[in-house]
Amino acid sequence: MTHSDGWASGSLDRRRLLAGAAALALAGGAVSRAMAAGGRIDAHSHSWGGDLTRYPMVHDQTARDRDPPDYDIETLLARETAIGVARVVLVQHIGYFGTDSSYLTDAARAHPGTFAVVGAVDDRRVDASDAMRTAKAAGVKGFRLRGVDTAAWLTSPVMASIWATAAEENLVLCPLLRDSPDMSDDALVHISELCRRYPATNVCLDHMAHVMPGDARQLDRLMALAAFPGVSVKISGLNKFDTPPYDRVIPQLVALLAAFGAGRLMWGSDMPVLEREPPNTLRAAFDFIARRAPLDDTQRDFLLRGTAERVFFG
């Protein structure tokens, strides 16, 4: 069977996936003791703060330009600890700090084993590969790619070097796709082609690639990426899709579970961006996976620990 947009559904027929996953999933329940012992992970949080002289912002911005003005590492740790999260994947905020991840890598060095860092790479720089290797030496594990004009990625020599270097250096590429009007509606098609060209490159899609609940065409495209073993997906930024308790997200989560398996999905909060839109809170976003979503204990363990541990802490 082939959809009208040219994507073969095959074994990824959405209706069959939804039915199969629903049959396998178990309702709610307490978070397993094994998970607590392993240390839960928030796979997507930002942090900013510190001395602006030491950590200058781009475009002459100051703390007053940030929302919220301060969300420093100690604040982040206190908030995460309060919900039982022990480790965090820190994600570069490009709009505030560009490609300079030093605030995050300094935090990771100050708290060994607590943080993994996703930095950023400028795909317009001819020396992008060298910049990636330098950042890796400073403690960066992955790189955020802002998905503007993703069609051009397919012919860009710099982007080719970025994907090849990520594979060679065991780094993770984290595309931010389809989250604003200037981003391509076909971004997932372009990602699929790059995954085909660079099968050894690990890719982690932020915020479910901004596929909105009910968007069957884009969900099919996202699920088709399960054919590439190196692709994982973050169930993150839930404020973009619904309000607590996020029940509109459940059918999409079930479909992604059936396509990727729990071992390739991970939960992330997108703090502090998440809480810019009340009534969204860190606790509500965590509880969606920990208690609300139809997952068994093993699946919860993957989403709240195991997958992020393998991809970002391994």
The residue behind tokens 């810019």 is: 276
Give the start-to-end residue ranges of the domains of the chain: 10-313
Q: Please tell me the distance from the alpha carbon of residue 145 to that of residue 176, in angstroms, as a whole number.
A: 6
Q: Give 178 or 173, the one with higher predicted confidence.
A: 173
Q: Among 16-20, 95-99, 223-227, 264-268, name the one with the lowest average pLDDT.
A: 16-20
Instruction: For domain 10-313, give its CATH number from 3.20.20.140, 3.50.50.60, 3.10.180.10, 3.30.70.20.
Output: 3.20.20.140
Distance CA 65, CA 62 (A): 6
Of the listed ranges 50-54, 79-83, 136-140, 169-173, the one predicted with least confidence:
50-54
What is the structure's pLDDT at 15? 44
Residue 305 near residue 36, CB atoms below 8 Å: no
Where residue 223 falls among pLDDT bands split at 50, 70, 90?
very high
- Which own/partner pairs from 123-129 qualify as long-range (CB within 8 Å, at least 24 positions apart)? 123/153, 123/156, 123/158, 123/159, 123/162, 124/158, 125/158, 126/158, 128/158, 128/161, 128/162, 128/165, 129/161, 129/162, 129/164, 129/165
pLDDT in tens, 14-45: 444 444 333 333 323 333 333 334 699 999 99
- Positive or negative: CA dihedral 143, 145, 151, 153: negative
Q: Do the beta carbons of residue 209 and residue 232 sit within 8 Å?
A: no
* 274-287 burial: b if 16+ Cβ within 10 Å, else e: bbeeeebbbebbbb
The Cα 262–Cα 249 span in angstroms is 16
Kindly indicate the confidence band of residue 178, based on its pLDDT and cuts at 50, 70 and 90: confident
CB neighbours (10 Å) of residue 11? 11
Instruction: Answer whether residue 106 shows pLDDT above 80.
Output: yes
In sequence order, the 6+-apart residues with CB closer than 8 A to the CB of 287 are: 244, 245
